[in-house]
Structure 1
Amino acid sequence: MDLEKAPAERPVAQAEGCLVVAIRIPVRIVVLVLVVPVRMVWDALVVGGRFLRDTLLRPLGRALAWVAWAVFVWPWVALWRYVVVPVGRALAWLGNVLLVIPAVWLYDTVLTPLGHAIAWVAQGIWTGLTWVVRGIGAGLSWVFGGIAAGLSWVFGGIAAGLSWVFGGIAAGLAWVYARLLTPVGHAIAWLFKGIGLVLAAVGIGMYTAAAWLVRYLLVVPALWLYEWILAPVGRGIAWLARGLGWLIRMIFTGIGAALYWTARVLLVLPALAVWRWVLVPVGRVLAVIGREIGEALGHAWRVAGHLSLAVGRFLGRLFRWIFVEPVRWVYRTVLTPVGHVVRDTVLRPAAQAARSVGRATRQAVAAARESARQARADFRRMLFGAPREPDPVSLGKARREPGAGETRTLGSSTTALTKD
């Protein structure tokens, strides 16, 4: 097992021509000379922008955000918090007191008993109406039952009489149909059958004659005309149309071939030659030049970055040596001792004096407050008298705890229940 990581394989470098090598070095030199000032100016602008962002824009943005909050947001928040919410709560309380509570009281004390009474009365009325309607229904059912029985007996007799009358009429009509209408119908049917046979024979003869006339006067001449006149004429017209189509096709084919070769010779071949022998080589050269310029710009930008970083560090160190270190030395060697001397000789005694003055002032204020409190107590005692002292509690014989002189022995007890 191999614990060491194998190095990554490097891509095989492709062979480069002399044109690439001849173009690369001059282009990189020129681009480096042109890019270094631009990169240094860019880095200076970046540093200045960051300094401006950190020292000016960010505090200004925070201040503007605070001002916008104070001007646009906080008034609405204050209006909602200190006006709308209290007013809403007050309106809700008023609505509860003026509407909800009276409505609930009215419902509980007036409407509910009234509704119960109305329901009880309606239930009693409904029970009485039900009883009355049931009695009326029973009486009406008995009355209508008797009427229906009488009507059924009357209509039964009428129906029996009508059935006897209509039975006699039906028997008479059946005799007339069987003895009179049936023979007459048979005779009429035989007559119409004979007339139909005669008409059928006449129709068949007329159809045969008309078919023979149509065949020999129309169909046979039409077939002869089609076979011996129209068909040859149609074949000749079709052959002529095919010949004209072939001629037109050959003419347009020749014109198309001529135009094709003319366009190929005059346009396509010169364009192909220009593309193959001019544009492709020029494009390859321009591609090489563009690629080298791009790589040179990237390389020069990176080199200019390193140079700009070195110049920036040099300027930073120079600024530190010229300005920061002298200021630090002055602060450490001059200002700090002077500050300590001023603190020990001026500020600290002044602070002690101020503290002593404050302490004396506090003591004077405390004494004045105590004097005022004592004066108020004397004035209250002079007006209302001295407060009554509480009466001391007398223990006497009810004391259950042993005295100080008594000691506990094996035969004695300090408990009140067992003490001798």
Structure 2
Amino acid sequence: MDLEKAPPPDGAAPGGCLAAVIRVPVRIFALLVLVPVRLAWDAAAGGGRFLHRRVLLPLGRGLWLLAYGVLVWPFRALWRYGCVPTGRVLARLGHVLFVVPAGWLGHGVFAPLGRWLTRACAGLGRGVWAGLSWTGSGAARLGRYVGGALARSGRAVWSGVSWAGRGVRGGLARCGRTVWGGLAWAGRSVGAGVSWAGRGLGAVVSRAGRAGWTGVSWAARGVWTGVSRVARAGWAGLSWAGRGLGAALAWAGRGVGAGVSWAGRVAWAGVSWAGRGMGAGLSWVGRAVGAGCAAVGRFVWAGCAAVGRTVWAGASWAGRTVWAGVSWAGRTVWAGVAWAGRTVWAGVAWAGRGLLAAGSFLVRWLVLVPALALWRWLLSPLGRGLVLLCREAADAVALGWRLAGRVSNAAGRLLVRLLRWTFVEPVRWAWSRVLTPMGHFVRDEVWRPARRVARETLAAARHTVRLAVATARRTVRQTRAELRAAVFGGPPAVTPAPSREPEAPVARTLGSSKTALTKD
């Protein structure tokens, strides 16, 4: 006696008696429903294959050939037999009408004309170069004269500027010594003496600056007047020379520019030297003023620092006292607030734990337990039953489809055999046993003799017609010759000329013999 439940055999479907009860009716129903569907599906598939192979493919090929013949072939023929020959003719015509005349024109007209123009331009260039070289030599001599005059004028200007610079330097030196003495005396009296010395220094510097500026402006006006006069003279000469040719004017202008630039550099050197002397004097005065101001600033800074340290000490003591009071008050307030917060938090936490416990109890017995019971005793069995039903339905549909396929194949083979026994075999037997011997008999005994007689009859008639036509042609030709001879006279008789070629020997026969015994 087996006390344990035996496991199901391998390959057995799970589900037990319920699955077996559901499986058989579902498979029977699926088979009854799917057999007509499978038969209709196989018939439609066979009809579709036949339609595709016997109708659609030939129709598509015919439409393709029609489209090719209507749309493609005419354009290809037009291109091959129309456009290409026309293009070749046009290319040949263009070559003959344009390329050949253009080549002849280039070789016969433009090339000799270009060579002649090259020679003419070369001769003209040589003549122009000779004229320019002669004009350049004259302009060079004129430039040397103008350069000498500008050099002499520049030396005179340099001497005037150097004398003016020496005077300005001496005046600035004396002014600087006087200012230094005034500043030393002003330094011994700090207050009003500094202001008085500043006013005196400003007056002296302004007077010295006006004197220096007057001298520099006078020297500059003299330099500008001399340069302008020299430039006007040079410009008059260069304008006279420029009326001859522009190139000579440019060359002379470069010489004049060199002289003027040299004079300008000399004048700028004098002015820069005077400016450097003036700058040295002013910098020395500025250093002295800066030293006095620095001493005054240091004294004022020491006083301000002492006052600031005293004020900072008082402010720091007052701040420390205020900070100590504020910090003590803040610690007292913080302690009270912290105690109140801990008390409130303890109450809120106790209330929250109670509410959480009550909510969890209610959720468990009102939601979770009913939901678990519903899932365990209703939804899960129902779901397993639905899954089993769906699986059995799918298996039944698959099995029914396979069985319907077998039934469809058997029905198709039966129909093919019936068609073969009822139509194909009788037709084949009639063709091979009746129609083929009858056709051979008709071909051998009727068709071939009739065709031979018809061919001989046609050949005889054709020969007779040809002979009649030849006879008629000969008769017409003889009649035309007789008429021509009767109207215009017959042609002279032509005697053939004797031939010098040896005659061909006559063939020997039984009646002709060339021997001595049988010769006649």
> Is the aligned partner of 1:203 residue 2:273?
no
Please give the per-residue CA displacement for 1:212-235, whole angstroms capped at 9, x wherever unaligned.
564566x35642552243453355
Please give the per-residue CA displacement for 1:309-333, whole angstroms capped at 9, x wherever unaligned.
2222222111111111111222222
TM-score normalised by structure 2 residue count: 0.59
> Is the aligned partner of 1:293 residue 2:393?
yes
Instruction: Name the residue aligned to 2:50.
Output: 51
Work out the CA distance in 2 between the residues paired with 1:377 and 1:233: 161
Instruction: Name the residue aligned to 1:34.
Output: 33
Higher RCO by CA contacts (8 Å cutoff, separation 6 or greater): 1
* 1:333/1:231 CA distance change after superposition, 3 Å: same
Which one-letter code corresponds to 1:111 in the other structure?
F
Instruction: Name the residue aligned to 1:401.
Output: none
* 1:294/1:368 CA distance change after superposition, 3 Å: farther
Instruction: Name the residue aligned to 1:103.
Output: 102
Larger mean Cα displacement after TM superposition, 156-165 or 331-340: 156-165
Which one-letter code corresponds to 1:166 in the other structure?
G
1:259-298 equivalences under 5 Å are: 262-263=362-363, 265-298=365-398
Kindly report the root-mean-square deviation, in angstroms, between the aligned alpha carbons of the 2 structures.
4.3
Give the fraction of aligned pairs with identical amino acids, expressed as a percent.
Answer: 36
1:188 maps to which of 186, 189, 208: 186
Work out the CA distance in 2 between the residues paired with 1:100 and 1:300: 87
Work out the CA distance in 2 between the residues paired with 1:241 and 1:392: 167
Work out the CA distance in 2 between the residues paired with 1:128 and 1:239: 120
* 1:239/1:117 CA distance change after superposition, 3 Å: farther
Which one-letter code corresponds to 1:203 in the other structure?
C
Work out the CA distance in 2 between the residues paired with 1:392 and 1:161: 144
| Structure with bigger gyration radius | 2
Work out the CA distance in 2 between the residues paired with 1:376 and 1:105: 66
Please give the per-residue CA displacement for 1:233-288, whole angstroms capped at 9, x wherever unaligned.
35545665676677667767766665566455444444444334433333333333
Which one-letter code corresponds to 2:436 in the other structure?
T
Shift of 1:184: 1.3
1:397-412 equivalences under 5 Å are: none
Instruction: Name the residue aligned to 2:222.
Output: none
Which one-letter code corresponds to 1:65 in the other structure?
W
Work out the CA distance in 2 between the residues paired with 1:59 and 1:358: 44
1:286-325 equivalences under 5 Å are: 286-325=386-425
Shift of 1:177: 2.0
* 1:94/1:208 CA distance change after superposition, 3 Å: same
* 1:129/1:292 CA distance change after superposition, 3 Å: farther
Which one-letter code corresponds to 1:283 in the other structure?
G
Larger mean Cα displacement after TM superposition, 53-62 or 232-241: 232-241
> Is the aligned partner of 1:328 residue 2:428?
yes
| 5+ residue gaps, structure 1 | 1-11, 397-420
Work out the CA distance in 1 between the residues paired with 2:354 and 2:106: 109
Which one-letter code corresponds to 1:336 in the other structure?
T
Which one-letter code corresponds to 2:29 in the other structure?
V
SS at match of 2:390: helix
Please give the per-residue CA displacement for 1:141-188, whole angstroms capped at 9, x wherever unaligned.
34323432442244224323432442244234324423x121212333
Please give the per-residue CA displacement for 1:368-420, whole angstroms capped at 9, x wherever unaligned.
8877998999999x99x99x9xx999899xxxxxxxxxxxxxxxxxxxxxxxx
Work out the CA distance in 1 between the residues paired with 2:75 and 2:323: 105
* Count of paired positions: 379
SS at match of 2:396: helix
Which one-letter code corresponds to 1:207 in the other structure?
G
* 1:226/1:38 CA distance change after superposition, 3 Å: same
Work out the CA distance in 1 between the residues paired with 2:70 and 2:420: 44
SS at match of 2:326: helix
Work out the CA distance in 1 between the residues paired with 2:404 and 2:147: 127
* 1:209/1:112 CA distance change after superposition, 3 Å: same
* 1:45/1:132 CA distance change after superposition, 3 Å: same
Work out the CA distance in 1 between the residues paired with 2:135 and 2:353: 113
1:340 maps to which of 429, 432, 440: 440
Which one-letter code corresponds to 1:160 in the other structure?
S
* 1:197/1:332 CA distance change after superposition, 3 Å: closer
Work out the CA distance in 1 between the residues paired with 2:84 and 2:362: 92
Shift of 1:347: 2.0
Work out the CA distance in 1 between the residues paired with 2:328 and 2:357: 44
Work out the CA distance in 2 between the residues paired with 1:288 and 1:106: 103
Work out the CA distance in 2 between the residues paired with 1:196 and 1:318: 137
Work out the CA distance in 1 between the residues paired with 2:408 and 2:125: 108
1:68-87 equivalences under 5 Å are: 68-87=67-86
Shift of 1:201: 5.3
Which one-letter code corresponds to 1:63 in the other structure?
G
Work out the CA distance in 2 between the residues paired with 1:89 and 1:14: 84
* 1:299/1:100 CA distance change after superposition, 3 Å: farther
* 1:253/1:209 CA distance change after superposition, 3 Å: same
* 1:204/1:79 CA distance change after superposition, 3 Å: same
TM-score normalised by structure 1 residue count: 0.71
Instruction: Name the residue aligned to 1:351.
Output: 451
Instruction: Name the residue aligned to 2:326.
Output: 226
Please give the per-residue CA displacement for 1:70-121, whole angstroms capped at 9, x wherever unaligned.
3444444444445544554454444444444443443333333333333343
Please give the per-residue CA displacement for 1:5-36, whole angstroms capped at 9, x wherever unaligned.
xxxxxxx9456432445544444343333322
Instruction: Name the residue aligned to 1:129.
Output: 128
| 5+ residue gaps, structure 2 | 1-8, 191-291, 503-520
